């Protein structure tokens, strides 16, 4: 998916970072020359911006401030011999005044600077002794030991002594601290939802468990269910099911096999804050705008990439050499991940899922909810946040009159990689547009078509601009169906290559059909192999597998597709597949593959999206229960016994890979904001830290909460987008009402229509005082009404009784009607209605 050089991935096979046993360091000959500085500074060298000197028997240097990257200031020694397969003990003393975080590396001395050992020692004013082990993956006569010390805004002083590198050490095995063997959702459980935990034990027969409240009183007890060895973790596990206990409370714990879980709550409002926090993640990811500390205390920073020195900005970005002879203003959008790149294919699925979160229940997202600069403008904040990215996607379209006009550039990022930490406004690298691709163009077509209908009630001009861009992108993609991103274009940013874009064609056609109702797009959808094929991969969907997005949209957004009933049933079939996987998994995960993918957590969540959609389509509780149980894995019921969402759970990820949420490297910088999802276990362990610490890991154990582990611990916009979607579903109480609504169009004319609505009470109790809510597809507006008081906010319409018809008896009905306007496009009947806040069955 992302990041860094192929040579690095091929060579790094080091093992463990841990204290070195005292005897181990004395096994082999000393490789470092003059590590005690008794004979001066030679053969140590420094970059031209520092002067090395020996003071009090230590090598010291004044490190200048105002540098951008760690490698801008280096102290090193060359020509160190390494033997492949040999384990080395590396020791040194170092201090920093004021305290800083440095980088200690053993590496190749020439490009690509392959690192055989890497650590980030926290340097204190008083100084510390540091000891590590690593195993050399290659034999080399000229390895280099370096201390990278740049990247600080302020000057500081570095000193070191007693540097030693000796072979013959015993390799240390990395053992993550997994806490108690009873694994729970550390945030908690919903009173009426499933409540399961996992016990890790060597026992193969049933064991007794107890549920205790905050006072230590046992409130429930039962027996575990042995599940055998879980392939994804290598652990022998039991399942604890305490779903019968529904009493709300805080500070519950589970005890079994002599172990007591971390505390958790049982509350109805467990997920009320998570959707907002997951969506608030996006504002400080914005490019091209100052992040206000008044809106995000602790996260304020200057605008990034607006052309203020040393930053070269995104306001006039040229193409890579030979790609084009124009520049584009591509300021804005979201930084994709922990670096400063912006990618259309990753932005596409991200902004789509935010808009889909809104489209599922438009009434749930109001203006002011996210506390962003646009709050108070009368438009839902979630749409304002999505617009920030959608404007960027539009700006990446090739202008009229140029070769490949209408296509979208695949990405824009730095010419070369930058180091950590580095705030966006300090990035000195030149920026480049990369060649247009069919995948990027279809992402633009899909999201622009979706934006056209969602923004129609709020900004008709912006909606029209998006629809025009979507049509232009569609035509350009059809004319250039096989312009693929170069899989080797991964310097300075991820490649995001995709050699099959038939799924993007299907998704884009689906969005264009829903928005326009036009025959061209309907015919394309019906002819696509993805329309009737099984798109429900075990591994879930992501930026490179988007046919599922088209299928979900066609199933849930009102449209006139002739086989729509089959489409909806296919989503239910996909949900059944994931439900079966979850029920068979000892940890209750709807994702069971032999090797976990990069960003596995987002794939788990996307499978939960399918299950949640099946609940929306059918109302069957088993699908909603599956979503609730699946979220347990993300929030602590996993092999590592930790939450992957920052700020949620007693032990949670907080050192995700980022250049500006880099507290692990610089205590003056923050950790990622509350509600940030970590990528999660990744069996490929491509980065140096993962390669060193996680060799031979079982899938669930292939994760470490370290800022340098970009393969397992990255944050990205397309990982937080399904977190926002699923958490919004979980926060929805999901009440169902005994009602039935018939919405009938009685006539239409150019620009207008008339509709009759009948609400039936199919329950056993009278409804005293009714209020009906629905949403229009796009820019429809209610005018004159009769039999009800009707109001409208954006596309959300609310009707309520007029006094004489406030009461609906069991078996009874009320009827009202209205005239409306429809500026353009299809005007399908709404399909989701809520009476007094509860969804009609």
SS3 content of the chain, % helix, strand, coil (to 5): 25, 25, 50
CA distances for 328 relative to 398, 657, 800, angstroms? 9, 29, 50
Give the separation between CA 814 and CA 759, rounded to whole angstroms: 5
- Dihedral angle sign, alpha carbons of residues 642, 646, 648, 649: positive
Q: Would you call 339 a catalytic residue per the annotation?
A: yes
Burial class (CB in 10 A: 0-12, 13-18, 19+), 744: exposed
- Helices 502-516, 438-454: inter-axial angle, 10-degree rounding: 20
Residue 585 DSSP code: S
657 is known as an active-site residue:
yes
Beta-carbon count within 10 A of 805 CB: 17
Do 463 and 779 form a contact (C-beta atoms < 8 A)? yes
Q: What is the DSSP letter of 140?
A: E
Residue in 705, 706, 708, 834 annotated catalytic: 705
Give dist(CA 247, CA 254) in Å, integer: 15
How many angstroms separate the Cα of 509 from the Cα of each of 30, 166, 517, 572?
66, 62, 10, 22
Q: Please, are residues 613 and 627 in contact by the beta-carbon 8 Å criterion?
A: no
Q: Distance of CA 294 to CAs 298, 334, 369, 371, 467, Å?
A: 9, 20, 15, 10, 36
Among residues 667, 761, 801, 787, the alpha carbon closest in space to that of 99 is found at 667
746 is catalytic: no
Choose the catalytic residue: 361, 498, 714, 834. 714
Q: Is 811 exposed, middle or buried (0-12, 13-18, 19+ CB in 10 A)?
A: exposed
Size of the chain, expressed as the number of residues it contains: 841
Catalytic residue among 336, 339, 597, 632: 339
Tell how many helices (H) and how many strands (E) occur in the chain.
15, 41
What is the rounded distance in angstroms from the CA atom of residue 633 to the CA atom of residue 232?
13
Alpha-carbon distance of 140 to 80, in angstroms, equals 8
CA distance 508 to 722: 19
* Lookup: tokens for 689: 């830290």
CA distance 823 to 559: 17
CA gap 833, 774 in Å, rounded: 5
| DSSP character string of 459-502 | -HHHHHHHHHHHHHHHHHHHHSTT-PPPTT--SSS-----S--H
**634 — phi, psi (to 5°)?**
-65, -30
For residue 30, report the phi and psi dihedrals to the nearest 5 degrees. Answer: -70, 130
Nearest to 514 by CA among 554, 549, 551, 477: 554
Find the catalytic residue in 367, 657, 687, 834: 657
Rg over CA atoms, the chain: 29
Q: 224 with 240: CB under 8 angstroms?
A: yes
Alpha-carbon distance of 233 to 680, in angstroms, equals 14
CA gap 375, 557 in Å, rounded: 27
CA atoms within 13 A on the CB side of 606: 29
Q: In whole angstroms, what is the distance from residue 271 CA to residue 363 CA? A: 17
Known catalytic residue: 129? Answer: no
Closest among 428, 392, 395, 434 to 413, alpha carbons compared: 434
Nearest to 723 by CA among 662, 790, 635, 637: 635
Nearest partner of 552 among 794, 355, 731, judged by Cα = 355
The Cβ of residue 129 has, within 10 Å, a number of other Cβ atoms equal to: 12
Residues marked active site are found at: 339, 657, 705, 714
């Amino acid at each position: 998916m992302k990041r860094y050089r192929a040579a690095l991935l091929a060579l790094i096979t080091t093992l463990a970072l841990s204290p070195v046993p005292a005897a181990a360091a004395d096994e082999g000959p000393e490789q470092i020359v003059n590590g005690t500085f008794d004979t001066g500074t030679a053969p140590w060298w420094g970059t031209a911006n520092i002067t090395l000197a020996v003071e009090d028997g230590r090598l010291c240097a004044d490190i200048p401030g105002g540098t951008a990257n760690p490698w801008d200031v280096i102290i090193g020694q060359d020509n160190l011999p390494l033997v492949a397969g040999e384990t080395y003990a590396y020791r040194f003393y170092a201090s920093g005044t004021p305290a800083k975080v440095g980088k200690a590396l053993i590496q190749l001395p020439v490009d690509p600077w392959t690192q055989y050992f890497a650590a980030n020692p926290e340097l204190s004013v008083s100084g510390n002794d540091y000891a590590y082990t690593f195993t050399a993956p290659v034999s080399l006569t000229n390895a280099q030991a370096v201390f990278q010390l740049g990247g600080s805004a302020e000057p500081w002083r570095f000193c070191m002594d007693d540097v030693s590198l000796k072979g013959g050490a015993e390799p240390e095995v990395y053992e993550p601290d997994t806490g108690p063997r009873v694994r729970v959702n550390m945030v908690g459980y919903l009173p009426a939802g499933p409540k399961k935990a996992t016990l890790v034990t060597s026992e193969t027969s049933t064991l007794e468990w107890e549920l205790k409240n905050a006072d230590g009183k046992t409130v429930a007890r039962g027996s575990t269910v042995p599940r055998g060895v879980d392939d994804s973790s290598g652990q022998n596990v039991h399942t604890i099911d305490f779903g019968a206990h529904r009493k709300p409370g805080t500070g519950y714990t589970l005890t079994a096999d002599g172990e007591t879980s971390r505390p958790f709550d049982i509350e109805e409002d467990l997920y009320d804050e998570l959707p907002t926090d997951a969506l608030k993640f996006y504002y400080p990811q914005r490019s091209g705008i100052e992040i206000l500390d008044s809106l995000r205390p602790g996260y304020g920073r200057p605008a990034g990439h607006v052309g203020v020195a040393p930053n070269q900005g995104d306001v006039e970005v040229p193409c890579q050499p030979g790609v084009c002879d124009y520049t584009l203003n591509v300021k804005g959008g979201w930084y994709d991940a922990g670096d400063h790149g912006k990618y259309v294919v990753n932005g596409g699925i991200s902004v789509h899922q935010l808009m889909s979160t809104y489209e599922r229940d438009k009434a749930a997202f109001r203006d002011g909810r996210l506390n962003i600069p646009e709050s108070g403008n009368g438009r839902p904040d979630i749409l304002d946040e999505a617009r920030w990215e959608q404007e960027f996607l539009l700006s990446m379209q090739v202008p009229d009159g140029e070769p490949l006009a209408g296509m979208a550039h695949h990405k824009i990022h730095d010419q070369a990689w930058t180091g950590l930490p580095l705030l966006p406004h300090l990035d000195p690298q030149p920026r480049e547009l990369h060649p247009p691709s069919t995948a990027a163009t279809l992402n633009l077509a899909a999201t622009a078509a979706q934006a056209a209908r969602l923004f129609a009630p709020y900004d008709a001009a912006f909606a029209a601009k998006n629809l025009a861009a979507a049509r232009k992108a569609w035509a350009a993609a059809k004319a250039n169906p096989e312009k693929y991103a170069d899989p080797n274009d991964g310097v300075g940013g991820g490649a995001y290559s995709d050699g099959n874009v038939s799924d993007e064609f299907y998704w884009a056609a689906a969005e264009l059909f829903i928005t326009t109702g036009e025959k061209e797009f309907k015919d394309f959808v019906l002819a696509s192999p993805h329309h009737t094929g099984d798109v429900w991969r075990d591994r879930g969907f992501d930026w490179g597998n988007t046919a599922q997005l088209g299928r979900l949209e066609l199933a849930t957004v009102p449209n006139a597709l002739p086989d729509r009933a089959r489409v909806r049933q296919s989503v239910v079939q996909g949900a059944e597949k994931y439900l079966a996987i979850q029920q068979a998994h000892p940890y209750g995960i709807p994702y069971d593959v032999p090797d976990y993918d990069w960003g596995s957590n987002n794939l788990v969540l996307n499978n939960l999206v399918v299950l949640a959609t099946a609940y929306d389509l059918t109302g069957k509780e088993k699908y909603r229960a599956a979503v609730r149980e699946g979220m347990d894995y993300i929030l602590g019921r996993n092999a590592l016994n930790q939450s992957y969402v920052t700020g949620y759970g007693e032990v949670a990820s907080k050192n995700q890979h980022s250049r500006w949420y880099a507290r692990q490297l610089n205590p003056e910088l923050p950790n990622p904001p509350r509600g940030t999802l970590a990528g999660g276990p990744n069996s490929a362990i491509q980065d140096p830290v993962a390669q060193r610490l996680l060799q031979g890991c079982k899938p669930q154990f292939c994760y470490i909460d370290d800022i340098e582990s970009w393969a397992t611990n990255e944050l990205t916009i397309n990982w937080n987008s399904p977190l926002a979607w699923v958490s919004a579903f979980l926060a929805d109480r999901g009440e169902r009402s005994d009602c039935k609504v018939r919405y009938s169009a009685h006539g239409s004319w150019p620009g207008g229509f008339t509709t009759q609505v009948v609400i039936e009470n199919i329950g056993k109790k009278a409804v005293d005082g009714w209020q009906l809510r629905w949403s229009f597809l796009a820019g429809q507006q209610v005018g004159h009404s009769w039999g009800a008081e009707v109001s409208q906010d954006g596309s959300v319409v609310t009707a309520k009784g007029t006094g004489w018809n406030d009461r609906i008896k069991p078996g009874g009905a009320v009827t009202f009607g209205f005239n409306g306007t429809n500026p353009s496009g299809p005007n399908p009947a709404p399909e989701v209605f809520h009476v007094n806040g509860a969804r009609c069955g």
